[in-house]
Structure 1
Amino acid sequence: MPARRIEGYVIVSADGMLANADRMMPDSLKFEGDQTFFNAALDRADLILHGRYSYEGQPNSPKRKRLILTSVTAALAPDPSNPNATLWNPAGATFDQACERAGIEAGTIAVIGGPDVFGMFLDRYDTFWLSQAPHVRLPGGYPCMPGVPARPPQAILAAHGLEAGEAQILDAAHEVTVTPWRRAVRRAD
């Protein structure tokens, strides 16, 4: 099987939330530096993977090949609203089958949420890019992955064999950073 590289991307508030209680990303969690970093990463990815409520909404979004996790199909189906998208129900088809249907044998797969989708790949990420906005709080918000807020996302990533690299500053005025969390031991697919 050719190699696929799996990378996660999320920006979180100080309390580990990726959205408010209405599952909407508020403007307070949007920063130009993070958006630039995120968009460039997705432009390099061979496949975008997300749940039905997640979407990056950028100029190149319609051009990107994607898998959308959903229960509205039994296994795999074309997305009637996007010719570059495949609907995938993990209960009816494997990840390998979904990638094959999307035409991806090798390359980088960017996982962009939501929480359950991030959780599905915790043991498979090669790198998880965790952006943090330390001055934003979203009380009652939507956590970035299973186990948050009982534990911070960093503890969950570490518990799944990922190690923090050096943080990069994305927005100095708001102290927004991105930290690559990389797999300590290469996984075997």
Structure 2
Amino acid sequence: MSVPALRIEGFVIVSADGRLANARNVMPDDLKIEGDKRFFTAALDGADLIVHGRHSQEEQPNAPKRRRLILTRKVQATAPDPSNPKSLLWNPAGCSFDDASRAAGVTSGMAAIIGGPGVFGMFMDRYDTFWLSVASRVQIPDGEPCFPGVPARSPQQVLAAHGLHAGEPQLIDAAQEVSVTPWRRIA
């Protein structure tokens, strides 16, 4: 009996101009939208592994309970995170994602990739689904682009260029006009 593979799903909320943070690399309050927070929390509650860089964190009560890989150049391959026994520090230059996820004790289920831009870029050709939330009323002209290649291309163009196809958008916060679109890889 073979073990099912780890599904790779990405999650981000962006401004109308494709930014996920301001020029200081901080998510502005304008992007902290209740409907998206509920969607994101439910998604992470169903994840088996969370993957992110040092600036991309989740500010939720269940965060310390989740297994995670935190990307860093400060370790050779993987190392325990001294601040959280459920976290593993991971240097992609020192070992593959598959090896790092095994070291974290996760070989099946869903890995949630939650950023930042470089981390999102590493998985562009591996996503099974990418959940792109767009806050259509928010602009961050000098902010941090969500993916490598933005703003020269839109986030949607970047996802499509990597073989992902847009599904039906779902309105997740009517008051703030925020929708989430699943971008799926079609086998």
TM-score (norm 2): 0.97
| Cα distance in structure 2, aligned partners of 1:18 and 1:79 | 26
Deviation at 1:30, TM superposition (A): 1.0
SS of equivalent to 2:130: strand
Deviation at 1:117, TM superposition (A): 0.2
Deviation at 1:29, TM superposition (A): 0.7
Partner of 1:81: 83
Partner of 1:100: 102
| Cα distance in structure 2, aligned partners of 1:105 and 1:176 | 33
Deviations 1:90-121 (A, max 9, x none): 00011111011000111100000000000000
Unaligned runs of 5+ in 1: none
Matches within 5 A, 1:40-51: 40-51=42-53
Matches within 5 A, 1:6-155: 6-155=8-157
| Cα distance in structure 1, aligned partners of 2:96 and 2:123 | 13
SS of equivalent to 1:36: helix
SS of equivalent to 2:38: helix
TM-score (norm 1): 0.96
| Cα distance in structure 2, aligned partners of 1:146 and 1:93 | 22
Deviations 1:119-162 (A, max 9, x none): 00000000000000011000110010100000000000001000
Partner of 1:156: 158
Deviation at 1:64, TM superposition (A): 0.5
| Cα distance in structure 2, aligned partners of 1:62 and 1:76 | 19
What is the percent sequence identity of the aligned residues? 68
| Cα distance in structure 1, aligned partners of 2:44 and 2:73 | 25
| Cα distance in structure 2, aligned partners of 1:106 and 1:174 | 35
Partner of 1:4: 6
Partner of 1:180: 182
Deviation at 1:23, TM superposition (A): 0.5
| Cα distance in structure 2, aligned partners of 1:2 and 1:179 | 25
How many equivalent pairs are there?
185
| Cα distance in structure 2, aligned partners of 1:33 and 1:83 | 30
CA RMSD of aligned residues (A): 0.7
